[in-house]
Amino acid sequence: MPTQWKRSPEELHKTYIANTEAFYRIAGRGLAEQMDTFCAGCAMGLFARSASLGQEHVDAVNQLYSKGRPKPTWLLWALTAEVGKNTAFLPPLFFWSLTEQDARRGTDCSRVFIRMLTNILLCLAAVDDDVTYAEAEYITECADKLSALCDSAGVKKGKPGLRAEDFVTSAQPSFLEKDAPRAAASGGDKTAAAAAGEAPAEKPDLDELMAQLDGLVGLERVKKEVKSMMNLVKVRQMRKDAGLPVPPLSLHMVFLGNPGTGKTTVARLIAGLYAAIGALSKGQLVEVDRSGLVAGYVGQTAIKTQEVITSALGGVLFIDEAYSLASGGENDFGREAIETILKAMEDHRDELVVIAAGYTGPMERFLSSNPGLESRFNKYIFFEDYDGAELNAIFHGQCSKNGYELDQEAEAYSKEFFDAMYAGRDENFGNGRDVRNQFEDMVIRQANRVAAMEAPTKEDLARFTKADFLEEEAQANG
């Protein structure tokens, strides 16, 4: 059955602008970047509950940008990978501040925001002309969590928003339910399956996960450290099963290194590996940074952090740029988050693994800022920058995964290009992220080049040339 909420990409953008502009008049345009990021994250969680993923979903998420902000450039393969992560919904940092402001002034702007978000999410759910029960449940969950924050802050009641379940058009299984292997590999949320009464997913396959670890480009020292940890945990389990005493063992870790060196990927594999050998019950990865833990006023950071911890029980809590929690001085709310995490590490020692990650220098200062941190994190794994050959291998992996190949000249130039990228790296070097950005830029350049051909062949559609490596200005200069 068609849905009344379907919008063309252009109409969806107009709807988004109309709603966000109303919000900015209340809360200020300075929140535009946070708002766009938050809505894109909601779209990913929502699309995970869609019956399928297609270009219409890519076109939709690329319309979620505020006036004056750059338009996103998502591609289907990247969107599918992100949706597969299926992270749990968390209220945005600015919403906590908005509820506090409402409570102080006697206004209900935060309630208006909930109704606005419900409208946007219903439009997003309907981009494929179908609103599933799982999508409606997700929209309701978002509204309920935000409403609970309003209630706890004492915001006055407003008029009720739309009921998402009233607009359901089908009961098709969600994208993640249909694509279970992807969901398992990405540590996906099993809530929808559990709510549907399905049997819990089987434990991750140990051999498959070890093969994925071995298949990562470079990271030889990291792989050795992970395998050593695995052996230690397995033998400890065997001793326990044999009735032998087992010494205390902390599974919490610190990942040190620059961005784009595979820290999140390795953390996700570790979560699955620990679940495969029975050290963790679920094996999901919950990834968060300061903004996902710290609220804007006294007492709320502990609540926000505890909600994240609860979602990570049975798996791994991965805190990126963890040092930012201790960067604001003695009165900063980040310290409240640290204390909450430390207590959880003690209270849930058998059902929670915390991995703190970030740059080497700031992380060392972070750990020395609190005696509890130093005592609970005693395993350090260093992620080195990828060299030119490894960057080139990562690039070729992206090409192979997405059905591209290089002609002879481009193949030769590829090695030269990534050797130069490594040699010219600076403090902003993004390692694998820079490779991914380069690949996405090349996809766009290749598309522009092929679109100008009169009758491109299948080989033309799949082939990169040397020109695709270069910015237009460099091409013009020869």
The phi and psi torsions of 424 (rounded to 5 degrees) equal -95, 15
- For the CA atoms of 307, 351, 134, 36, the dihedral, rounded to the nearest 10 degrees, stands at 40
CB 250 within 8 A of CB 210: no
Which strands make up the sheet holding 352-358, listed edge to edge? 285-288, 315-319, 352-358, 253-257, 380-383
Residues 6+ apart with CB under 8 A from 158: 108, 111, 112, 115
Tokens of 371: 């005696």
Write down the pTM of the prediction.
0.57
The phi and psi torsions of 77 (rounded to 5 degrees) equal -65, -40
CB 313 within 8 A of CB 352: yes
Could you give the CA distance from residue 147 to residue 23 in angstroms, rounded to a whole number?
Answer: 17
Question: How many residues belong to the chain?
Answer: 478
User: Is 171 in a helix, a strand, or coil?
Assistant: coil
Q: pLDDT at position 93, please?
A: 79
Angle at 201 between CA 198 and CA 207, to 5 degrees: 160
Residues 6+ apart with CB under 8 A from 327: 334, 362
> For the segment 212-256, what is each residue's pLDDT rounded down to a tens digit?
888 888 899 999 999 998 888 888 888 888 888 887 778 899 999
Tokens of 98: 């908005």
> What domains can you pick out in the chain, each with its CATH number?
9-195 (no CATH), 206-383 (3.40.50.300), 388-476 (1.10.8.60)
Sign of the dihedral defined by the CA atoms of residues 398, 402, 407, 409, in that order: negative
Sign of the dihedral defined by the CA atoms of residues 317, 322, 324, 325, in that order: positive
For residue 129, give the nearest of 52, 43, 15, 61 by alpha carbon.
Answer: 52
Helix axes 133-153, 32-47, angle to 10 degrees: 140
* Site of tokens 């300075």: 30
> For the segment 395-410, what is each residue's pLDDT rounded down to a tens digit?
999 899 888 999 999 9
pLDDT band at 177 (very low <50, low <70, confident <90, very high): low
* Site of tokens 């703190």: 356
Any idea which of 286-290, 360-364, 469-473 has the lowest mean pLDDT?
Answer: 469-473
Q: pLDDT at position 2, please?
A: 46
For residue 162, give the nearest of 117, 128, 127 by alpha carbon.
Answer: 117
Q: pLDDT at position 186, please?
A: 42
> For the segment 46-89, what is each residue's pLDDT rounded down to a tens digit?
888 887 878 888 899 999 999 989 998 888 777 877 786 655 67
Any idea which of 110-114, 408-412, 474-478 has the lowest mean pLDDT?
Answer: 474-478
